[in-house]
Chain A
Amino acid sequence: MGNQDGDGKKSFTRRDFLKATGGAMAVAGITTGGLAFASGKAGTAELPKKWDETVDVLIIGSGFAGLSAACEASKAGAKVVVLEKMPTYGGNSIINGGVYAASDSKLKLRKKLNLGEDSVDLHTEDTLKGGDRYNFPELVEILAKGSPEALNWMIEEAGVELRDALTRAGGHSAYRTHTVTAGIGYGFTDPLRKLAESRGVEIRLGSEVTRIWRKDPESPVSGVTVKRGRRESDIAVSRALVLASGGFSRDVKMRQMFNPSIVPEFNTTNQPGATGEMIRFAQAIGADTLQLNFIQLYPFAEPETGILDTPAVYPFNGVGYGMIYVSKEGKRFVNELERRDVCSFAQIKLGLKPTYSIFNEAMVLKMGGSAKEVEDGMAKGRFVRADSISELAAKTGLPAGPLQETVDKYNQYLKDKNDPDFKKPITDSMIPLQEGPFYAVAQWPAVHHCMGGLRINKDTQVIDIWGKPIPRFYAAGEVTGGIHGSNRLGSNAIPDCIVFGRIAGTNAAKEKPAA
């Protein structure tokens, strides 16, 4: 678009302009980036002759990964700009459930609440096992080892606050899931955003990256094209580009390309900007990707819309304290401590939508819930409360006889410390469903997380299709692959984003400025 005049001023004709906006109208999702190497050969484009701006460290995406990278890069003295295509910051991070897996922290909650043992090794092993060992051990170790330290960092430097509770969630073999006081990702993103901005980071909203520039397969990344409103501009990176653009759960077409079983009919828990164009732009400059077919369903989303609201976090947080899942026939159908993929497909196999989580009052605070959340959820009709199991059955439409039978049998299993039906490992912290009030919440799977993405190394450098790091190009967070394998354990994503985001920001700032 536009011609460069001698004095560098753009002069436009209306025809140029129409062409440009026409091209830019392509919506987020699968935009046709074309070949992005700028070698000047047929089919490729020339690098911008003149850049509109130069930035030390340019970060794409304003979620956990982007904000953490921004905090570290700016602390190291780099001029940092974060580009976010949506009109609000925070991506999936700001709407997330606010639960964070760490084998320990400076708060020592596990010890304080007397919840047994844990270690970095155990966290590593659970994560590898939960991902069917498709994940790379050296990356998983960084996650498990870095998680407590990253949590302490957020508490100390950003002022993040946690609830006085710790849960054992599906796939984890220890009580290690922490809950932020706000009960939602905002409780992490808001302090991180403020920390970043206090260090001079500029977050530009409504700024969609539409291309990454690299001269040829030997060269470093040189910059990006950004569309802001109706204007496009080219920004050069002096030190490095950090890609933190999240997953593509909202990108139905891309989901289908890599995993046809994630059919369009599924709801999703994700924000509208969770589309995969940045992965394609990275591929177009030679970046390697892996495991894009591994797409996770969240088993407990609100059945009608797929929203992961506060009540939808309860089924995830409650199982370590004895919560059960029942079908419409009032029967358990899975070991509730199972991984997300197992819990999701057990429901889908039932073929009867929805299923329900059943819990009682005594579990609420233990699992990091609150009385206010329960009341709000009741008002919205999300939680159903009753004094007896039969009353709960009447209120939910579950069959009373079978539900009572299920609960009685289950209570006995807790006493026996043995679950012959589903082999759930019974712990001392599990509470029998004996005393009311009892609660039910409806649930159904929705598309949630993309385990696959860009191939990175331990330094978060993006690796190209020949196995070499692409100079000046880093990536962190959900846009990367190889950390969670085939199935991410719940509450492992925040530590993933924060730990690797910080590494990316630190390393990006260390790069020597381009000549």
Chain B
Amino acid sequence: MNLKAIFLSAIVGTVVLLVGVSHNVWGEKPEKESICSACHVEYRSLLPALHPSLQKEPVPSCLDCHEPAVSEEPLTNAFSALIHLGHKDSADCLECHTWKEESSFDLPHPGAALGKPSDEDMHWIEKAFDAWADSPYLASLHASHAVTCSGCHGKNLPLMDDTVENERCLACHGPMEKLVERSAPQDFPDRNPHQSHLGEIACTVCHRSHWESEVYCLGCHQNFDMKIPGAK
């Protein structure tokens, strides 16, 4: 097994493990400085068997290998995805993050400013997280592929009513021509939802991550047989 393969299996293993152990090691609300150690006594048992041994402080050493995912680029399997998947069952962002209304939302270590959510934003961020952690919607599908908030929304924390531009979706799912090809109906080529008589439309017209998706065509063409993931 080469090095890359070891890392990959380690990542996957971590996801599984973190999901499994998040609760029984939960403790008091952590201090800003020792955010992980406030709950976790040791880390070895959280990691897959093949994971290289840990040298330093847990978080910094994770980041040596796992990209943080606070990035403008869409990433999968980044550290942020792994850590959030591991804490899926926690409903409260502020167990780990710090937040000052309309002024900051931070990781425990300073300098990671992720936006300035309002109280209202926070309410929807929690709901959005819930849909990501566990729902029949596309966000959950993204979670299962270790794509976290930044994977779709970019560096800053998505605020209420944030949307995702086509470009961002297409970075992973594109190019558009590929989608057109894949969704071309066998029977009637002109009933292709990715190349319709409405011209270029937003992906989010039909595909929604945090709530129900909807085949927009059916708003008029009631008798079309069209199904998409995350829709009724």
Contact = CB atoms under 8 A, between A and B. Distances in A.
A376 B197 CA distance: 14
Interface in A1-39: 9-14, 17
Contacts of A230: 124, 160-161
A87 B204 contact: yes
Contacts of A459: none
Interface in A368-397: 376, 379-380
Given A87-B202, A88-B198, A205-B202, A272 B219 contact: yes
Interface stretch (B29-37, B115-123, B166-174, B175-183): B115-123
A17 B123 contact: yes
B42 interface: no
Contacts of B161: 228-231
A305 interface: yes
A458 to B, nearest CB: 34
A95 interface: yes
B220 A95 contact: yes
Contact of A307 (B160, B216, B220): B220
B189 to A, nearest CB: 9
Looking at chain B's contact residues, the main secondary structure is loop
B197 A184 contact: yes
B199 interface: yes
Given A12-B120, A231-B161, A379 B188 contact: yes
A465 to B, nearest CB: 35
Contacts of B221: 305, 307
A9 B188 contact: no
B213 to A, nearest CB: 12
A229 B160 CA distance: 8
B161 to A, nearest CB: 3
Nearest to B190: A376
Contacts of B124: 230
A94 interface: yes
B197 to A, nearest CB: 6
A271 interface: yes
Given A231-B161, A272-B220, A88 B123 contact: no
Given A230-B124, A305-B223, A12 B119 contact: yes
B223 A304 contact: yes
Given A12-B120, A305-B221, A231 B188 contact: no
A228 B201 CA distance: 17
A4 B197 CA distance: 44
Contacts of A307: 220-221
B25 interface: no
Contacts of A314: none
B120 A17 contact: yes
Q: What size tier do the contact residues of chain B reach?
A: 20 to 34
Best-surrounded residue of B120, B188, B205, B219 (most CB of chain A within 10 A)? B120
B188 A376 contact: yes
B89 interface: no
A63 B221 CA distance: 20
Contacts, number: 59
Interface in A55-96: 87-88, 90, 94-95
Best-surrounded residue of B197, B201, B222 (most CB of chain A within 10 A)? B197
Given A12-B119, A94-B197, A376-B190, A271 B202 contact: no
Contacts of A14: 119-120, 123
A307 B118 CA distance: 45
Nearest to A376: B190
A12 B118 contact: yes
B198 A94 contact: yes
A14 B160 CA distance: 14
B102 interface: yes
Interface string B93-116: 000000000100000000000000
Contacts of A376: 188, 190
A365 to B, nearest CB: 20
Interface string B193-232: 0000111011011000000000010011111000000000
Given A14-B123, A230-B124, A9 B102 contact: yes
Contact of B219 (A9, A13, A184, A271): A271
5 contacts: A87-B201, A87-B205, A87-B216, A88-B198, A88-B205
Given A14-B119, A231-B160, 15 more contacts: A11-B119, A12-B119, A14-B120, A87-B216, A88-B198, A88-B202, A90-B198, A184-B197, A186-B198, A228-B161, A230-B124, A230-B161, A271-B220, A307-B221, A379-B188
Please provide the 10 A-B residue pairs with the shortest distance between their CB atoms, ordered closest to farther. Answer: A229-B161, A87-B205, A272-B219, A12-B120, A88-B201, A88-B198, A305-B222, A17-B120, A305-B223, A184-B197
Interface of A: 9-14, 17, 87-88, 90, 94-95, 184, 186, 190, 205, 228-231, 271-272, 304-305, 307, 376, 379-380
